């Protein structure tokens, strides 16, 4: 909370935030904007999401609300015309108003959630409506009929999807345009730090996990692999390495390891890992994955081993919590848990079956799933 207190201390009466904290006055006119300033809102939200403790959200609520009000007052028809955008892209810039406006919608949504937690019904409704209207303004300003978002960059296309700025029928055309843009770019990355957060999750979650892996494992410039070949032991600020070589700028790839490869994530509707969501994305190029997360109820484990005759997936759900696990399997009959047919396994309830996946509800415990190929 000390860091958040420092951030709130630097907030001006009109709600403006600087680009650095603490500051002697620098950063209110340049170097800030929603992609940076939203730390005031996103960090308390993530603390709530990952721990179940709403203390930071409620403590920061008034400052969060003032910041969203500041954005609304300084918007142009709910579009945010200022702020650092997709900082240091590999090649092509994405307009900052596009990424800034998306963060405006997210910020308003989180303020609405916090107002609900505080029992402030009127404020919750106001900010929920604002978030809805900002998303509508985003679509009107940036979305074309063919699915192109803004200039059609990798960052623009993936931002619209990752930040949930689209209506359901619009998502497939936007994703198709993203795939086309990546191909046009020679299957190379062309994102800055914001696009690097959006792109890999978007690809993996929409059925193009192999493409995400291809982009992540390239060794030509620009890529993480190229950094490693240059001897990097830390994350750099820029793809070409001509600035700081100790930056967290492109660090969200570590979250991709947990959420996509291991499949571990909290359930926003039951925060604090009271209910764990488990849905790993498989690839023959990553035959083994071992990951854990120490949540409020104990250690969550996801260990995957792909073998010629099938898949082994070890899952640990901590005491006093439950999980929804999506098993990559062709059918219920192809899955056993500790050698027992899935439907007969203790602590397991089959929820849904779709092509290539069986979703089950799990009580706390240790599970050893095996999928026969």
**CATH code where residue 350 lies:** 2.60.420.10
Domain identity same for 180 and 274? no
Last residue of a domain, one of 209, 229, 258: 258
Domain identity same for 129 and 32? yes
**Mean pLDDT calculated for residue range 251-271:** 98
The residues, ordered by sequence, that sit 6+ positions from 16 with a Cβ below 8 Å of its Cβ are 28, 32, 70
The model scores a pTM over 0.95:
yes
What share of the chain has pLDDT > 90, as a percent? Answer: 97
pLDDT at 373 over 90: no
**Mean pLDDT calculated for residue range 6-33:** 94
E strands, 181-329, in order: 264-266, 275-278, 288-295, 298-307, 310-317, 322-327
8 A C-beta contact, residue 207 and residue 357: no
Domain identity same for 159 and 244? yes
Domain identity same for 60 and 163? yes
Domain identity same for 47 and 152? yes
pLDDT at 364 over 90: yes
* Cα pseudo-dihedral 251, 253, 259, 264, rounded to 10: -50
Domain identity same for 132 and 53? yes
**Mean pLDDT calculated for residue range 108-130:** 99
Last residue of a domain, one of 227, 242, 258: 258
Q: What is the pLDDT of residues 219-236, one digit of tens each?
A: 999 999 999 999 999 999
| CATH number of the domain that residue 168 is part of | 1.50.10.10
Nearest to 37 by CA among 63, 58, 55: 63
Domain of 143 in residue numbering reads as 2-258
Q: What is the pLDDT of residues 132-164, one digit of tens each?
A: 999 999 999 999 999 999 999 999 999 999 999
Domain identity same for 141 and 30? yes
**Residue 109: band (very low, low, confident or very high) from pLDDT cuts 50, 70, 90:** very high
Domain identity same for 132 and 109? yes
Residue 354's φ and ψ, nearest 5 degrees, are -135, 175
Can you tell me the distance from the alpha carbon of 120 to that of 118, in angstroms, rounded to the nearest whole number? 6
What share of the chain has pLDDT > 70, as a percent? Answer: 100
Domain identity same for 212 and 306? no
* pLDDT in the model for residue 371: 98
Domain identity same for 252 and 283? no
Last residue of a domain, one of 236, 258, 280: 258
pLDDT at 129 over 90: yes
The whole-chain average pLDDT of the chain stands at 98
**Mean pLDDT calculated for residue range 212-220:** 97
Domain identity same for 12 and 125? yes
DSSP state, 282?
P
Number of structural domains found in the chain: 2
* pLDDT in the model for residue 153: 99
362: left (phi over 0), alpha (psi -120 to 50) or beta: beta
* pLDDT in the model for residue 332: 98
Domain identity same for 167 and 186? yes
CA 352 to chain centroid, in Å, comes to 25
Q: What is the pLDDT of residues 297-348, one digit of tens each?
A: 999 999 999 999 999 999 999 999 999 999 999 999 999 999 999 999 999 9
* pLDDT in the model for residue 1: 85
Q: What is the pLDDT of residues 331-345, one digit of tens each?
A: 999 999 999 999 999
**Mean pLDDT calculated for residue range 76-91:** 96
* pLDDT in the model for residue 30: 86
**Mean pLDDT calculated for residue range 189-193:** 98
């Amino acid at each position: 909370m000390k860091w958040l207190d420092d951030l709130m201390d630097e907030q001006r009466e009109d709600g403006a935030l600087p680009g650095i904290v603490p500051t002697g006055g620098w950063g209110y006119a340049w170097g800030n904007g929603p992609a940076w300033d939203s730390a005031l809102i996103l960090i308390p939200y993530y603390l709530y999401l990952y721990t179940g403790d709403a203390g930071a959200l409620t403590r920061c609520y008034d400052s969060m609300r003032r910041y969203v009000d500041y954005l609304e007052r300084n918007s142009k028809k709910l579009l945010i015309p200022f702020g650092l955008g997709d900082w240091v892209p590999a090649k092509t810039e994405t307009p900052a108003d596009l990424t800034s406006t998306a963060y405006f919608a997210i910020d308003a949504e989180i303020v609405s959630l916090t107002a609900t937690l505080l029992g402030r019904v009127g404020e919750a409704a106001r900010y929920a409506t604002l978030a809805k209207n900002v998303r509508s303004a985003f679509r009107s300003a940036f979305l074309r009929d063919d699915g192109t978002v803004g200039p059609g960059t990798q960052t623009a296309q993936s931002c619209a999807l990752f930040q949930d700025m689209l209506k359901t029928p619009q998502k497939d055309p936007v994703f198709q345009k993203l795939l086309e843009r990546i191909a046009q770019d020679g299957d190379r990355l062309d994102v800055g730090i914001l696009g690097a957060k959006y792109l890999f999750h978007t690809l993996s979650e929409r059925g193009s996990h192999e493409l995400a892996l291809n982009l992540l494992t390239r060794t030509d410039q620009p890529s993480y692999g190229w950094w490693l070949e240059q001897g990097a032991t830390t994350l750099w600020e820029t793809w070409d390495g001509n600035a700081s070589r100790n930056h967290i700028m492109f660090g969200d790839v570590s979250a991709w390891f947990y959420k996509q490869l291991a499949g571990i994530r909290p359930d926003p509707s039951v925060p604090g890992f009271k209910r764990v969501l488990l849905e790993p994305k498989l690839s023959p190029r990553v035959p083994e994955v071992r990951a854990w997360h120490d949540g409020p109820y104990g250690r969550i484990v996801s260990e995957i081993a792909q073998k010629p005759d099938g898949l082994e997936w070890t899952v640990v759900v901590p005491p006093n919590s439950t999980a929804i696990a999506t098993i990559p399997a062709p059918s219920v009959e192809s899955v056993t848990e500790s050698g027992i047919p899935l439907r007969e396994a203790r602590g397991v309830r089959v929820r849904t079956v779709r092509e290539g996946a069986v979703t089950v509800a799990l009580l706390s415990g240790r599970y050893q799933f095996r999928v026969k190929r």
